Structure 1
Amino acid sequence: MTSSGDLPGRVDGLRPELTNLLKQLVSIPSIAFPGYPPENVKRAHDFVADELRKSGVEDMQVLYLPDTSPVVYGRIPAPPGAPTVLLYGHYDVQPSGDESLWQTPPFTPTEKDGAIYGRGAADCKSNVIAHIGALRAHGGKPPVGITVVIEGQEEYGSVLDDYPAAHPELFQADALLVCDAGNIRAGTPTLTTALRGVADVFVEVRTLAAPVHSGQFGGAAPDALLALMAALTTLHDADGNVAVKGLRRDKWTGADFTDREFADITGMEPGMPLLGTGPIGERIWYGPAITVIGLDAPPTATAASAVVPYAKAALNVRVHPDQDPAEGRQAVIDHLEKVKPYGIELKVTGGEVGAGFSAATNGPAYAAMREAMQRAWGAEVVDSAMGGSIPLTNALAAANPGAEILLLGAEDAKCNLHGFNERVLLSELCNVALAEAEFFQLFADRMRK
């Protein structure tokens, strides 16, 4: 096997540089949501593009797609006989929310206790910097070809999700590193091998032309809110397991959370029970979930003594990675249409869907990455999954039917992505950079055999 040289020493030497780059990138409030300054998104794009050029990606261009932020796109040609690796990440971030709830200003990156705090530090700017670190560890001349795709509107929703299928020639690679994931816990190198699918369902009920006095008519007048709540309670059994026929759930055999660990990560109130039964991994990764994410009903602060004539709920449905999300959505619709609480018919409609993903894990890229991550962390690599969805993963898979797709990253379960006080551990950032750098050499060696 070709020697990879002193990659650990090179990455360790790059740590101050990578830390500084991450701080610079986090300081840019690159929020691509409507109403936020687009010039900040452009600043982040230009920063990433410039640093990739300094890292050996000389063939750089911008993909300007309709109604989305510019996509950083670049290539390093593959040496003769070597494979090509696609590196994905995104430079945009979620809004910061109520800044008074942050312990440090969200766009003033703060280094504390071996971590960088700030919006986007974990999701996903640390992974963008890890790509840069891996390339610089090889002096900008990695032993594999490189295609870099760093988008700027992942958090809000981007047309890039549909672009690879129409332009597959731009995304051809033997292995695709989708670095928008992370470790089940800090210090445990983790490959994400499955993503649940997602679907939206809306259920509404109208029973009266207008509110009527609850004293005069309550008890007989059909209460829309009461009917809606009665319908929603049928979606789960007494233990909190999803009770909708046709939604798939399988055994999960990868890494898992303990009950105490899960309670700590999610910030559960003391004594609060978990929903459902069985291993947590089955509940949050390999089984369905139905969450009421919105409710149209009179607010308590201004509630009148009246029977409610209309109510509506928005449901977010998560389905098994291998189940068609449209099939899962229809199962929920069929269930609710049959309920008819108190004889009242509900209007149930379906919304957007996003497919799940299951990775094939028996190819040379997975073998190389497992060895690379074990070297970087000095610990056994585990498989995990995500309850969330990354729609671009399936788009890249469709454009590369023969490629292996690997999901990893510098995040960990306590990094507070999308929440207040988001942070990334610098040790995880450097380990991802080292794992990528090791992977380039290991994968090149395996593909030459």
Structure 2
Amino acid sequence: MTDSQHPVTPTDPRTVSELAEAVQGGFPAAVADLGGLVRIPSVSWDAFDPAHVAASAEAVAELVRGTGLFETVQVSRAPIGDTGTLGQPAVLARRPARDGKPTVLLYAHHDVQPQGDDADWDSPPFEPTVKGDRLYGRGASDDKAGVMTHVAALRAVREVLGDDLGVGVAVFIEGEEEFGSRSFADFLRQHRDDLAADVIVVADSGNWSTTVPAITVGLRGNVTFRLTVRTLAHASHSGMVGGAVPDAMLAMVKLLATLHDDAGSVAVAGLHSREAEHPEQSEQQLREEAGLLEGVTPIGTGPLLSRVWSQPSITVTGIDAPSVANASNTLSPEVSVRISARIAPGQAASEAYAAIEAHLREHAPFGAHVEIDDVDQGDPFLVDTSGWALAEATAAMTEAWGEAPLQIGIGGSIPFIADLVRTFPEAQILVTGVEDPDTRAHSPNESQHLGVLHRAVLSEAVLIARLDARS
């Protein structure tokens, strides 16, 4: 296998065969350990018990120690700017490189999204459940399967190559990725020497299918915030003043409607799209993967994947308003929503936020008061595909999957990658992962395809072996 810039030779077939045997032999234990992690409800959001995230960090640290490869393994927390608050606990491990070999940093995160309504799950969200070839549970894929990809790959590498490796390995398992990685930049500054690497593998993305791997080369950025609209000093009787006085819900609905045009495309001046080539995706595939109901049409314009990979989107992900059960005949004085915007590669998140903020203030109906707070921003990212590490990863994945990986974009965001680039500008970044189109990350019935996990573990083990053999 070769590419035009960085020719690569096949991995020693005996090494691949022995690694495959080691991965196969260790896979039941890896799945059991993944199940153990899923049982820990490590939701990193403020409203949830941080003791669960701490317990998850300790469990991950024990798994990393159990590989027997590291000089140091620690659980550490970094401050969140100058707030006086510490971020959630992360796991950090390192073994130094020898004989001029490169160092690889393996990243994943052990925190998870909230499970939502348990009634929407077919099995308990924090009880790992195997059905067919999938393991169900919150975090089973995003991203505790990423954690276990690293752990199981390192176990196989040690079994085949021993613990006298030349390649340097660092492990960084974050504890607050799902809550905005708020201490991430400070963690990098605090542990810069421990995290320094030639290659960084971010195991937090997906694959084209359960049989075709992918390396993610384009990620949208994100801007999230709380939007509050106020129209009244207090609630008022809807019969007495309704029709003459605007309630906050009416103002909010009209304001939110200005964010999109009739086709459903974002209609905010100053938000940009990226021109790029995209693989074909049929509407039927989109409908099946998204669960689009019969009669409901897709939104936006242009190739389907361009709408997800290369165009901005704006979504209302939550609302604070009187519930239907508790609704009284009054005009609501204020309503709050959570806005999640995805930003096309090539545009700074700060620029996008400024455009959205200006739009909301300019379009507030009836003179409604608008407040925006609790803002998080993350820049989009485009991977440099010209480096030798991508060629090495492509070779490893091809040997493990029997299929060459596609280079894809994703609609989701991994904002901290921009922090990695700023801190380690010379490092080559590889965005891999264990998800597939049926994973349903962040949603009820999240699951991990076990065949994908198996091949991801072997891919990473082969990659580490290739780096160990690299001069």
Answer whether TM exceeds 0.5 for this pair.
Answer: yes
- The letter for the 1-side match of 2:193 is E
Provide the residue aligned with 2:177 in structure 1. 154
Question: Does residue 1:133 correspond to 2:152, yes or no?
Answer: yes
- Matching residue within 314, 317, 328 for 2:341: 317
- Is the contact made by 1:87 and 1:149 (CA closer than 8 Å) also made in structure 2? yes
- Is the contact made by 1:255 and 1:382 (CA closer than 8 Å) also made in structure 2? no
Q: Supply the RMSD in Å over aligned alpha carbons.
A: 2.7
**CA–CA distance in structure 1, aligned partners of residues 199 and 306 of structure 2:** 28
Shift of 1:176: 0.3
- The letter for the 1-side match of 2:291 is G
- Is the contact made by 2:153 and 2:457 (CA closer than 8 Å) also made in structure 1? yes
- The letter for the 2-side match of 1:122 is S
Provide the residue aligned with 1:15 in structure 2. 27
Structure 1 gaps of 5+ residues are none
Provide the residue aligned with 1:92 in structure 2. 111
- The letter for the 2-side match of 1:432 is A
Provide the residue aligned with 1:3 in structure 2. 12
Question: Does residue 1:55 correspond to 2:67, yes or no?
Answer: yes
- Matching residue within 13, 18, 24 for 2:36: 24
* Aligned partner of residue 138 in structure 2, secondary structure: coil
Cα gap change, 1:137/1:254 in structure 2, threshold over 3 Å: closer, same or farther?
A: farther
**CA–CA distance in structure 1, aligned partners of residues 29 and 237 of structure 2:** 68
Question: Structure 1 stretch 407-416 or stretch 109-118: which is displaced more?
Answer: 109-118
Cα gap change, 1:113/1:216 in structure 2, threshold over 3 Å: closer, same or farther?
A: closer
Cα gap change, 1:364/1:254 in structure 2, threshold over 3 Å: closer, same or farther?
A: farther
* Aligned partner of residue 155 in structure 1, secondary structure: helix
Provide the residue aligned with 2:167 in structure 1. 144
* Deviations 1:352-384 (CA, angstroms, capped at 9, x unpaired): 222222211110001111111111111231122
* Deviations 1:67-110 (CA, angstroms, capped at 9, x unpaired): 33432211222231211100011223333333343333333322
- Is the contact made by 1:254 and 1:383 (CA closer than 8 Å) also made in structure 2? no
Question: Does residue 1:409 correspond to 2:433, yes or no?
Answer: yes
Query: Sequence identity of aligned pairs in percent?
Result: 37
- Matching residue within 74, 80, 89 for 1:70: 89
Question: Structure 1 stretch 409-418 or stretch 134-143: which is displaced more?
Answer: 134-143
- Is the contact made by 2:281 and 2:305 (CA closer than 8 Å) also made in structure 1? yes
Question: Does residue 1:123 correspond to 2:170, yes or no?
Answer: no
Cα gap change, 1:127/1:143 in structure 2, threshold over 3 Å: closer, same or farther?
A: farther
Question: Does residue 1:349 correspond to 2:368, yes or no?
Answer: no
Provide the residue aligned with 1:424 in structure 2. 448
- Matching residue within 386, 393, 403 for 1:362: 386
Cα gap change, 1:106/1:83 in structure 2, threshold over 3 Å: closer, same or farther?
A: same
Shift of 1:258: 2.7
If the length of structure 1 is used for normalisation, what is the TM-score?
0.89
Aligned length: 446
- Is the contact made by 1:162 and 1:395 (CA closer than 8 Å) also made in structure 2? no
Question: Structure 1 stretch 154-163 or stretch 71-80: which is displaced more?
Answer: 154-163
**CA–CA distance in structure 2, aligned partners of residues 297 and 9 of structure 1:** 56
Shift of 1:146: 0.4
Provide the residue aligned with 1:79 in structure 2. 98
Shift of 1:435: 0.8
* Deviations 1:248-296 (CA, angstroms, capped at 9, x unpaired): 1123424464322222222221111111111222222211111223445
* Deviations 1:206-228 (CA, angstroms, capped at 9, x unpaired): 44444555555444434543333
**CA–CA distance in structure 2, aligned partners of residues 402 and 100 of structure 1:** 47
If the length of structure 2 is used for normalisation, what is the TM-score?
0.85
* Aligned partner of residue 368 in structure 1, secondary structure: helix
**CA–CA distance in structure 2, aligned partners of residues 49 and 210 of structure 1:** 52
Cα gap change, 1:428/1:240 in structure 2, threshold over 3 Å: closer, same or farther?
A: same
Shift of 1:319: 1.0
- Is the contact made by 1:15 and 1:430 (CA closer than 8 Å) also made in structure 2? yes
* Deviations 1:185-226 (CA, angstroms, capped at 9, x unpaired): 222201111221112355544444445555554444345433
Cα gap change, 1:56/1:17 in structure 2, threshold over 3 Å: closer, same or farther?
A: same
Shift of 1:48: 2.5
- Is the contact made by 1:254 and 1:382 (CA closer than 8 Å) also made in structure 2? no
Structure 2 gaps of 5+ residues are 1-8, 80-85
